[in-house]
Structure 1
């Protein structure tokens, strides 16, 4: 046996093997495998051909999940008899003549590979008739060429009876590729995939009648009338329960046109003017979406995505929509979304996938973000409240050994009710947007801090981590990840904001599951802004101060107000000189790494922006600049970066400079500033914590306290 094994093994080649041209039949068989994966993918190509032909009726008949028989009949324009000899050859199409035609493509098919690929792996028969023909013509194909229908006859198309349109019959699919055939699922699952494809095209084309049934069965599994609407098609195919929970929105690129840009900084207005000059018409787009509201919950997300009427998949769009629903639906629940996106053909590359399963287009991130925002606004705007019921099997901060494995019924104290509108403490009060904040903040001595404008930033919500090769920054980032507390991270990531309890003491309430937590949002914000500074190191957006204040004046204000600053026999002026000298001497480094712009004349021109739509309290700017002198370790790289980012985080924390109460006697400017702070904490700070904060365990010591637990409250009520 050993000698046989030795003889069977071939020795390694002594030199390079010769390169040979593959046979045409092998090339075609390989190409067919890339396009025709299963019966449903073959049907998708055939449906698209029917729709390209202008059909208003499409009938599909299936046997054994499409492996024995897959037939599609339409009433489209048909195929000319003269074109039948090359119908199933590769790269024969009526859609393209030059490569530049791809830029203006509005049809489904264009490469001319669908029928060719099907003919390589099945027995293909075509019966077609145009309106001008007196009879229909029947042709059989094998390996891309005409073949006789019966032995002893010619391969030429034969006249036969038939209606206007085309009937394509695919028999014995994958008969010559047994590996592909054996890899398919059972006939029931393959038929379910076929029904899914037909249903999706029926919803997107409500003006076309679709029918799909198994061979020999009297009633179809899919049947939609022509001249219906999208909602009617969804109701027929997915049921009345889903259809009654649908919301509808339309979005387009023109929605943003005509926006008032008079309040924008000069640089931002210039950038928008440049965008207009770049040919905005070629980047025009529109979208229509039908999606379920918060009352509908399914186990699996259903996404029907059409881009320029082409059924495609997009993991980026799917993730964006899932993110929208994550904060609205209960854990484990999923929505139904139908999205039709129309983009100028010049902005779309359709030739990136053999089966046209994916497409690429310009401004993809901005378009996806805009669609997700509109859908989210529609969901939040609905007035219906929801009741989520679930059983808490793994409560946080409780030993898993104490959890019973007994499957008890769902009790009332394990139910959580959340409402979209009435779930916050201040829901009955009007809260101002930060844009209403006064442009000038008065300081105690009567001088004024500068107004602040934001340098334009990309219109995206995601804060990406900057690319940095400094070992010190890598070490600091690694330390943040290592210190993460998973259970606290889950609370913050999936919390429901309840309300702000005390602004001066930075206390807020959040709900997670059946528990209520009191948070020191000041401590959490300090850690958040420190981590955001690490995340964007060397790539900060900027906040422009207009007019730029004098550095020495600001530092002097803080030194005069701070007790005990002058030490070791130094006078206040000496302290100011030292701090200003340190910052001026390192202004290039501060500009490069932190976007803290200080001019040669000592004017503070820009500050680093850590979080979009968040405005730090400029009353704290003098104190921030003053502390950069003694509190930052300027002697070593890593301690310098760490301490500077800590000071920057303290500057950004939404806490008042003075603990003055807000009452009826307060002036209007103070009240507006207070309202703006409340708005930022709820609508900007807490969502940013849920998304970006990697909480360390140290926050559990005193900054996160559980104040109520629904099961415990029930026990108290029972004793009463």
Structure 2
């Protein structure tokens, strides 16, 4: 018989019987609907933490979340009595009856997220409420409690822990190999995780978010609490988007409704069709290759292709073809008008009057763009900083004829013998024979020293600094990471630059020249990276910057804490904050003295600090802020993180950025400002040439090419 005949004979004559699926199979199928990849699991866990009123959320990831996904929050925690049913399906604290769905204001409500994770991964929970004397740890598999080791009971075990909940998901999809093999690489899965966290961090600026890879000394995402969404967008999506943001507010306009925008769409009138929306979107000056669209409906991250298309159509008449905007949109609607129970992962929602609301929002954005169109700016930007290349010095490369109006190109082919090439004017590197700077061309009144503004003044000579010998793996690892992150072209630019002048002292912007290119640099950011590297290079072998008389530690801390805003969010009084930071530094006295030459007396006086560069004196007005930041910003528990964060704070203290809390000088007194300017030009930039190993991260916001001589010639020749 043929193959088809054999298959036909193997089929049953009648219909197959209907059978009830086994419960474990049902649960695993349901888990596949909820948990598609590590990023979808993280979204569910983030929403649980936000529902628990957490103000700090820390996420640790290993191998893109497939090996480890851990989320730690400081929320209200979980009662011990609720732990046995925590991972069962359809167990939730958000609903009691079906009618509750019509007024739902929480993120989670289906009671399937944790259950789904326990069916496709190994899950453990550590939780503590404020009323508990200790934390409780429990392990789950297939939705039920399990014993952590053979011979032990599955009951939750007491352990040490802070208020809140820590959920650890390990070996995701270990029992569903097909789903595991369908996932992308760990780097792409980690990028998806960062994308989810970034979006929630933008919408929840009052919550501190942190995301890092397991074993990494520094996080890839870190935010501090603030009340400004535009600031969060600028921090997380970059300055290019932040400086072009437009704020749009629109709401339902009904008779009797207040004109101001309410925090909740149901404030004032009991109207189920009442709504309000707020958007932060880029104007006509920003163009991207792909639309970035963040949509939150009643604080829930959702997707809506119809709303996205409507907004993109608004921008299609403003931006060039192929260009796309950035849009953050938050819509608040009466919960009675929203159906959130339309997708297992709550990715989509349905709400009343969707077309009308979308049209109103699109019209408001269009009006804002039209109002901004009169101030549209066109920026000229060449390639990112790199080595100066001369097209005439290579064979087989394209050359554009400068005098050809048609823009035709001619290709120089290979030749047997290379003829000497003429060096055109627009490829000549020009610097003043006197090394004149911007300051030398401007008259200076009452300089703080006689050589300020003098074109003949030269930079001071800097002594060599040798790397200290150290056997600590943590320090050697940090030194190795500095060398690995080196950007060779940018390092060459800094080492061989010619200083042009300081453009803006307050914003720490300066101009430097390298070859035929002019760069605008943030010298505070460059200096901060250099001082971090100097601190790392001299670890354990610092000179001491001694204070005479030594200032009291508590007095300095109190100055900074009193000037700091937002301390009330910590739940502590300012005196209690001072006490805690002081106690922390006193506990670490021996370590600080041995490794960092930072001496604090038993009488709580600051005797000395590490002196990173002998010829450079930091701004001591920033000392109170530096000491205050050591308390919350240094990770004292881990050796490598402790050393890394302490040296980062030390580098920030040494950088010439203006003090945030303590004014560096009065507006009428320019003596200190002139002295700082001289030190920046003649000491700091000289040190940058000699010591800085420039990382690639400086190219993102801190080094921008603003002019290139060949391009300027090309522009003028066509005028």
Task: Report the CA distance shift for 1:299/1:407 in structure 2 as closer, same or farther (over 3 A).
Answer: farther
**SS state at 1:169 partner:** strand
**Deviation for aligned residue 1:387:** 4.9
Are positions 1:349 and 2:348 aligned together? no
Residue aligning to 1:164? 163
Residue aligning to 1:213? 212
Residue aligning to 1:84? 83
Deviations 1:170-224 (A, max 9, x none): 0000000111000000000000000000000000000000000100001111100
**Within-5 A mapping of 1:361-400:** 361-382=351-372, 383-385=374-376, 387=378
Task: Report the CA distance shift for 1:244/1:99 in structure 2 as closer, same or farther (over 3 A).
Answer: same
Task: Report the CA distance shift for 1:280/1:365 in structure 2 as closer, same or farther (over 3 A).
Answer: farther
Task: Report the CA distance shift for 1:295/1:412 in structure 2 as closer, same or farther (over 3 A).
Answer: farther
**Within-5 A mapping of 1:457-606:** none
**Deviation for aligned residue 1:16:** 1.7
**Deviation for aligned residue 1:236:** 1.1
Residue aligning to 2:236? 237
Cα contact 1:246–1:291 (8 A) shared by 2: yes
Residue aligning to 2:73? 74
Task: Name the TM-score, length of structure 2 as normaliser.
Answer: 0.51
**SS state at 1:20 partner:** coil
Task: Report the CA distance shift for 1:137/1:409 in structure 2 as closer, same or farther (over 3 A).
Answer: farther
CA separation in 2, counterparts of 1:36 and 1:192?
17
In structure 2, list runs of 5 or more residues that go unmatched: 259-268, 381-397, 408-716
Cα contact 1:93–1:110 (8 A) shared by 2: yes
CA separation in 2, counterparts of 1:63 and 1:194?
11
Residue aligning to 2:146? 147
**SS state at 2:26 partner:** helix
Are positions 1:201 and 2:200 aligned together? yes
**Deviation for aligned residue 1:65:** 0.1
Task: Report the CA distance shift for 1:37/1:87 in structure 2 as closer, same or farther (over 3 A).
Answer: same
Residue aligning to 2:62? 63
RMSD over aligned Cα, in angstroms? 2.8
CA separation in 2, counterparts of 1:375 and 1:350?
26
Task: Report the CA distance shift for 1:257/1:367 in structure 2 as closer, same or farther (over 3 A).
Answer: farther
**SS state at 2:230 partner:** helix
**SS state at 1:124 partner:** strand
Residue aligning to 2:326? 336
**Within-5 A mapping of 1:389-468:** none
Are positions 1:284 and 2:274 aligned together? yes
CA separation in 2, counterparts of 1:412 and 1:168?
65
Please point out which of 317, 320, 323 is paired with 2:307: 317
**Deviation for aligned residue 1:280:** 7.4
In our comparison, the structure showing a higher alpha carbon Rg is 1
CA separation in 2, counterparts of 1:74 and 1:112?
19
Residue aligning to 2:515? none
CA separation in 2, counterparts of 1:96 and 1:203?
28
CA separation in 1, counterparts of 2:215 and 2:255?
54
CA separation in 2, counterparts of 1:167 and 1:312?
25
Residue aligning to 2:247? 248
Task: Name the TM-score, length of structure 1 as normaliser.
Answer: 0.51
Cα contact 1:247–1:292 (8 A) shared by 2: yes
**Deviation for aligned residue 1:12:** 3.4
CA separation in 1, counterparts of 2:298 and 2:218?
33
Task: Report the CA distance shift for 1:5/1:154 in structure 2 as closer, same or farther (over 3 A).
Answer: farther
**SS state at 2:249 partner:** strand
**Deviation for aligned residue 1:145:** 0.5
Deviations 1:310-362 (A, max 9, x none): 00000000000000000000000000000000000000000001110000000
CA separation in 1, counterparts of 2:12 and 2:213?
54
Cα contact 1:330–1:388 (8 A) shared by 2: no
**Deviation for aligned residue 1:256:** 7.2
Are positions 1:96 and 2:87 aligned together? no
Deviations 1:56-104 (A, max 9, x none): 0000000000000000000000000000000000000000011110001
Residue aligning to 1:621? none
Residue aligning to 2:108? 109
**SS state at 2:271 partner:** helix
Task: Report the CA distance shift for 1:5/1:350 in structure 2 as closer, same or farther (over 3 A).
Answer: same
Count of residues paired in the alignment: 383
Residue aligning to 1:182? 181
Deviations 1:26-65 (A, max 9, x none): 1000000001000000000000000000000000000000
Task: Report the CA distance shift for 1:256/1:387 in structure 2 as closer, same or farther (over 3 A).
Answer: farther
**SS state at 1:281 partner:** coil
CA separation in 2, counterparts of 1:18 and 1:407?
76
Cα contact 1:62–1:215 (8 A) shared by 2: yes
Deviations 1:663-698 (A, max 9, x none): xxxxxxxxxxxxxxxxxxxxxxxxxxxxxxxxxxxx
Residue aligning to 1:19? 18
**Deviation for aligned residue 1:13:** 2.9
CA separation in 2, counterparts of 1:149 and 1:170?
14
Task: Report the CA distance shift for 1:371/1:257 in structure 2 as closer, same or farther (over 3 A).
Answer: farther
**SS state at 2:329 partner:** strand
CA separation in 2, counterparts of 1:69 and 1:370?
44
Task: Report the CA distance shift for 1:49/1:296 in structure 2 as closer, same or farther (over 3 A).
Answer: same
CA separation in 1, counterparts of 2:24 and 2:128?
30
**SS state at 1:128 partner:** strand
Task: Report the CA distance shift for 1:194/1:256 in structure 2 as closer, same or farther (over 3 A).
Answer: farther
Task: Report the CA distance shift for 1:354/1:384 in structure 2 as closer, same or farther (over 3 A).
Answer: same
**SS state at 1:282 partner:** coil
CA separation in 2, counterparts of 1:256 and 1:241?
40
**SS state at 1:231 partner:** helix
**Deviation for aligned residue 1:388:** 10
Deviations 1:378-430 (A, max 9, x none): 001013235599xxxxxxxxxxxxxxxx998999899xxxxxxxxxxxxxxxx
CA separation in 2, counterparts of 1:325 and 1:345?
30
**SS state at 1:150 partner:** coil
**SS state at 1:283 partner:** coil
CA separation in 1, counterparts of 2:401 and 2:316?
26
**SS state at 2:277 partner:** strand
